[in-house]
C-alpha cells in the first residue's frame, strides 16, 4: 500500500539523503567496518547538508525542520545503508538533539549547538552501566557538588559513538537518598581530566559504529555543564525515550525491508532443481508472509510517527513499536539468511551482516522484555 505519512517535501528530502548515502557512505562501507567507526569527513558532509541539525533552531546553526517526519526519513534512508549507520547518526541528530535543544540555557546552546550541527562535535549519551542494563533507575555513577563544580565518578558501557564523541550527556546520581528522583544530567566534554574511554567494544554486529566503555575518575565538571534541573534527570530521560524508541522502530523496519527486497531479487535469479528458488511453493508463501508482516508493521509505525509529529505519541505505543519492529526485523532477516542458503552465512553478503547487525535491536533502547513490561503495566496487570 502507498504510505500516506509523507508529503512531496519529505520525499524530496529522501532523494537528497539517498544521494548522500550513495556518494558519501556506500563507497566507504568497507572502510567504516575496518576502522570500526564512521570517519569525521562523513560527519562533516552530513552536517554541511543540514542533516545533523534538523531539530535545532536556525539561530544556533540548525535547519529547524519543525517536523519529526524529516528525522524519520533520514533514519530510514541511513538504515538502508546499514543499521550501524542509522544508529550512529541517529544517536546524534535524533536522540541527543532534544536534550541539547530543550534542556540547555542560551549560553549552552551558543556553546555547543553550532558545532553539533556541522558535525564538528559528535555526541553520545551515557545512560547504560555495566551492572544496570535497562534499569536506568539503578545507575551508580555519582556527581558530588564541590563549589561551582561537580565531581563525577563511575562508568558507562555499550555507548554508541562513545569512542569518538566530543560531548557525552551523562546521567549521574546527585541525591542518592532520592533514588530515581535523585539523578541529574551533565555534559562531559572530551579532554576533561579523569574522563577516559576503554577500547572499542568487539560486537557481534554493527562494526561501523564505535561503541565503547566510558570511565569517570574524579572528573571535574562545571555547573555550567549541568543539563536541565537538578535531580530531574530520570524524569527527563523517561520523557525523551519515546522519541528514541520510535526512531529505532522506523530504522528497524526500513533496514529489514531493504534486505527483504534484495532477497526477493536474489530468489528470482537463483536457480535450484532447474527453477527459480522463489517459485517453490514454500518460498513463495514465505515471501508472502514476510512482505505482509513488514507492510503491516510499517503501517503501525507510520501511525506512531504521525502521532509523535503532533506530540501525541504515548510511551506505551512507542514501546509497542520498538519491540514489535525489532522482532519483525529479526524474523525477516533470519528468513532472508535461510533463503540465501550457504551464501547467507558469508560475511561478504549484506544479508549476513544485516542479520548480525539486527540482533541488538531487541536489546537496546530498553530490551523487548522491558517494553512488554511497560505495556503490561498499562493494561493494569
Beta strands 275-276 and 195-200, pairing class: unpaired
Q: Residue 157: helix, strand or coil by DSSP?
A: strand
Beta strands 211-222 and 226-227, pairing class: unpaired
Residue 231 to residue 234: CA distance in whole angstroms: 8
- Grid look-up 522484555 returns 369
Q: Residue 26: helix, strand or coil by DSSP?
A: helix
Q: Which residues are catalytic?
A: 244
Q: Residues with Cβ < 8 Å from 272, sequence gap 6 or more?
A: none
CA distances from 22 to 50, 77, 78 (A): 17, 10, 10
- Grid look-up 533502547 returns 365
Tally Cβ neighbours within 10 Å of residue 11. 12
Amino acid at each position: 500500500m502507498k504510505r500516506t505519512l509523507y508529503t512531496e517535501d519529505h520525499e524530496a528530502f529522501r532523494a537528497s539523503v539517498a544521494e548522500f548515502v550513495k556518494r558519501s557512505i556506500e563507497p566507504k562501507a568497507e572502510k567504516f567496518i575496518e576502522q570500526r567507526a564512521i570517519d569525521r569527513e562523513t560527519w562533516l558532509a552530513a552536517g554541511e547538508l543540514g542533516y545533523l541539525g534538523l531539530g535545532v533552531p536556525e539561530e544556533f546553526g540548525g535547519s529547524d525542520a519543525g517536523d519529526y517526519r524529516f528525522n524519520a526519513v533520514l533514519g530510514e534512508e541511513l538504515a538502508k545503508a546499514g543499521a550501524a549507520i542509522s544508529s550512529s547518526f541517529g544517536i546524534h541528530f535524533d536522540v541527543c538533539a532534544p536534550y541539547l535543544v530543550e534542556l540547555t540555557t542560551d549560553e549552552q546552546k551558543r556553546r555547543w549547538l553550532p558545532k553539533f550541527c556541522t558535525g564538528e562535535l559528535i555526541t553520545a549519551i551515557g545512560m547504560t552501566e555495566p551492572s544496570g542494563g535497562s534499569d536506568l533507575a539503578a545507575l551508580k555513577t555519582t556527581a558530588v557538588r564541590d563549589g561551582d563544580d561537580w565531581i563525577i565518578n563511575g562508568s558507562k558501557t555499550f555507548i554508541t559513538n562513545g569512542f569518538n564523541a566530543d560531548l557525552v550527556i551523562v546521567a549521574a546520581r546527585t541525591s542518592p537518598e532520592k533514588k530515581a528522583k535523585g539523578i541529574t544530567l551533565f555534559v562531559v566534554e572530551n579532554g576533561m581530566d579523569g574522563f577516559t574511554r576503554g577500547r572499542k567494544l568487539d560486537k557481534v554486529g554493527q562494526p561501523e559504529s564505535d561503541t565503547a566503555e566510558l570511565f569517570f575518575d574524579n572528573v571535574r565538571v562545571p555547573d555550567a555543564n549541568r543539563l536541565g534541573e537538578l535531580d530531574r534527570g530520570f524524569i527527563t530521560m523517561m520523557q525523551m525515550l519515546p522519541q528514541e524508541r520510535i526512531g529505532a522502530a522506523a530504522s528497524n523496519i526500513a533496514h529489514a525491508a531493504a534486505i527483504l527486497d534484495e532477497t526477493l531479487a536474489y530468489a528470482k535469479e537463483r536457480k535450484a532443481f532447474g527453477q527459480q528458488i522463489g517459485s517453490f511453493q514454500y518460498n513463495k508463501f514465505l515471501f508472502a508472509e514476510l512482505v505482509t508482516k513488514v507492510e503491516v508493521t510499517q503501517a503501525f509505525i507510520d501511525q506512531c510517527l504521525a502521532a509523535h509529529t503532533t506530540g501525541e505519541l504515548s510511551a506505551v505505543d512507542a514501546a509497542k513499536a520498538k519491540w514489535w519492529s525489532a522482532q519483525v526485523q529479526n524474523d525477516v532477516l533470519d528468513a532472508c539468511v535461510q533463503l540465501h542458503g550457504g551464501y547467507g552465512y558469508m560475511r561478504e553478503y549484506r544479508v549476513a551482516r544485516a542479520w548480525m547487525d539486527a540482533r541488538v535491536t531487541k536489546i537496546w533502547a530498553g530490551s523487548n522484555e522491558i517494553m512488554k513490561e511497560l505495556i503490561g503495566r498499562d493494561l493494569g496487570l
